[in-house]
Structure 1
Amino acid sequence: MSNVLVTYFSASGVTRNVAEKIAGENGYDIFEIKPVEKYTSADLDYMDKNSRSTIEMNDKSFRPPIEETCDVSAYDTVVIGFPVWWYTAPTIINTFIESVDLNGKTIKAFCTSGGSGIDKCVSDLQNTYPELDFAKGMRFMGNVSKAKEWIENE
């Protein structure tokens, strides 16, 4: 089995819980993508056109700064987890992708979402980074029993 790194961004804790379960149950390494400035509940109010998340998501070139990045060179597969914002990956995921060398790696994206699926998120990332190898993504609602098979076999 190839080496697997589970990375994730979590604004409210839901994605963190899923990422920790996936990594913990399968012995994978884990890395949290942390914004320099944490998101408050007001920042995440998608109904407010002036909220931080709305402003960031409306500017496709915006890259929220992250506290640190990590060395992915030892891993064959990098899993990237995030909540779905505006039907796609939050722009902080772009910040992370652009901070590491994912060339030659298999990238598996997973999302946490009450309603939105992962397919548009993955196709948006593939369109933004056509040189990278994005595999089929997965949405998790809390039950991660299928994670190992998805990460290691698909």
Structure 2
Amino acid sequence: MSNVLVAYFSASGVTKRVAENIADENGYDLFEIKPVEPYTAADLDYMDKKSRSTIEMNDREFRPPIVESCDVSQYDTVVIGFPVWWYTAPTIINTFIESVDLSGKTIKAFCTSGGTGIDGCVNDLKNAYPELNFAKGMRFMGNVSAAKEWIENE
């Protein structure tokens, strides 16, 4: 068992592949944050103001239910991965954060995005959870060769 957990949410499979690569290449443990109700292509249509993801992201207090949580007590570092939705982390990330005890942990967020960086996402999470220790985040677009140094040294 490693001292690093990579927890991720992936709606389309992109973030899943990145998280699996980070975990596999570095010997980290992996946990998938799964919604009780999986997202469909229609749910993810950000152009549709009535799509599920649009409705959820317009209500930042909404917490989509997740299938299960996990025990993070044995980890010093928890890496949380997600796609960027509306320039920030999807609200399901808040569901996960609120379902585990991250106090005293180093939290490193990564995103998968073709255009939006991670800094705004991390700032939003820091503002929502000022008691937690969010470190510098990272955006990945496929190549995860920099992950180990970022996770273990920064």
CA distance in 2, matches of 1:72, 1:127: 22
Q: 1:17, CA displacement in angstroms?
A: 0.1
What's the RMSD between the two structures over aligned residues? Answer: 0.6
Query: 3-state SS of the aligned residue for 2:69?
Result: coil
- Find the aligned partners of 1:71 and 1:84 in 2 and give their Cα distance: 25
Partner of 1:20: 20
What secondary structure does 1:79 align onto? Answer: strand
SS at match of 1:92: helix
Spell out the pairing of 1:114-125 with structure 2 (5 A cutoff): 114-125=114-125
SS of the aligned residue for 1:22 comes to: helix
Q: Match of 1:47, SS?
A: coil
Match of 1:11 in 2: 11
Which residue of the partner structure matches residue 58 of structure 1?
A: 58
CA distance in 1: counterparts of 2:136 and 2:44, whole angstroms: 27
Structure 2 counterpart of 1:146 = 146
Percent identical pairs in the alignment equals: 86
Question: Which blocks of at least 5 consecutive residues in structure 1 are unaligned?
Answer: none
SS at 2:35's partner residue? coil
Query: Alignment partner of 1:61: what SS?
Result: coil
d(CA) in 1 for partners of 2:61 and 2:12?
24
Q: Please, which runs of 5 or more residues in structure 2 have no aligned partner?
A: none
Give the partner amino acid of 1:32. E
1:85 lines up with 2:91 in the alignment: no
Partner AA of 2:59 in structure 1: D
Determine helix, strand or coil for the equivalent of 2:56: helix
Matches of 2:150 and 2:114 in 1, distance apart?
20
Which deviates the most, 2-11 or 138-147?
2-11
Q: 1:28: how far off?
A: 0.2
- For residues 82-102 of structure 1, give each alpha carbon's deviation from its aligned partner in whole angstroms, at most 9, with x where no partner exists: 000000000000000000000
- The CA deviation at 1:34 is 0.1
Shift of 1:58: 0.2
Runs of 4+ in 1 over 6 A off after TM superposition: none
Total equivalences in the alignment: 153
Q: Do structure 1's residue 30 and structure 2's residue 47 form an aligned pair?
A: no
User: Which residue in 1 is equivalent to 2:132?
Assistant: 132
Distance 1:137 1:28 in 2: 17
TM-score scaled by length of structure 2: 0.99
| TM-score normalised by length of structure 1 | 0.99
Please list the CA deviations of residues 19-56 of structure 1 after superposition, one character each: whole Å capped at 9, or x if unmatched. 00000000000000000000000000000000000000
